[in-house]
A and B are shown apart, each in its own frame.
Chain A
Amino acid sequence: MESSQGLGALAARKQRAVIALYIYLAATAVFCLGEILELAGVIDMNALQLSTLTTIFAFLYVAQLPVVIGCIVIVAMWIHRAHASLLEAGHSDLEFTPGWAVGWYFIPIANLFKPFQAMKELWNTSFGLTNDFGGEAPFDLKVWWGCWIVGNIANWQSA
């Protein structure tokens, strides 16, 4: 794919990723509201006889799964395209290939730090910065990754 075509595809995938993430934000906010209502005793997921409100939240919880899976696929497609665009623009000295920039998310243990390194490389190369090992990462990336790791651990512990 030519560089201009790649950038066009990247813009289209950005649009889809942003929409998917906003849907994910809404679904997660509903999930959070459900947990707060459950803590307050307004709804009870363990009751034998579910109330109308509890049934609505039960359906919303189930509906969150395809939203999460869809969001992962769409954001992964953007990450792959963004890395591929760098290669097409002549950046041949990259540590991460487009495939592995996505693939590392699915490798246990390595997924705690490798995806962050890949995103840092993507950010630094896109902005024309040096991507030295151990170099300072942008603030946005650190906040995103910190929230991602701690949030996932909290969600995993609560399951």
Chain B
Amino acid sequence: MSLDSDLGAYQISLILGAIGSVLSIFGAYYLIGIIREITAAQEQGLGLEEVFA
């Protein structure tokens, strides 16, 4: 009984770890896009503002 519940808890922890990893991958993928877009916006917007100021 105790061994069964320990195994169940261990499997749940593995499943949660896998779910967390998949979400981390998605999060990192979106963060790459955010970093690229903000940098591009600043290079265009802020750079041009400075040139035309």
Contacts and interface: CB of A to CB of B under 8 A. Distances in A.
Contacts of A152: 20, 24
B49 interface: yes
Contacts of B45: 126-128
Interface in B23-41: 23-39, 41
Given A39-B11, A158-B14, A7 B34 contact: no
Main DSSP-derived SS at the A contact region: helix
Nearest to A23: B28
Contacts of B42: 7, 10, 82, 85-86, 89, 126
Nearest to B15: A39
Contacts of B23: 147-148, 150-151, 154
Contacts, number: 137
A21 B31 contact: yes
A49 interface: no
A38 B14 contact: yes
Contacts of B34: 119, 123, 140-141, 144
14 contacts: A7-B42, A28-B21, A32-B18, A39-B15, A75-B31, A86-B46, A89-B42, A122-B38, A126-B46, A128-B45, A148-B24, A151-B26, A152-B20, A155-B24
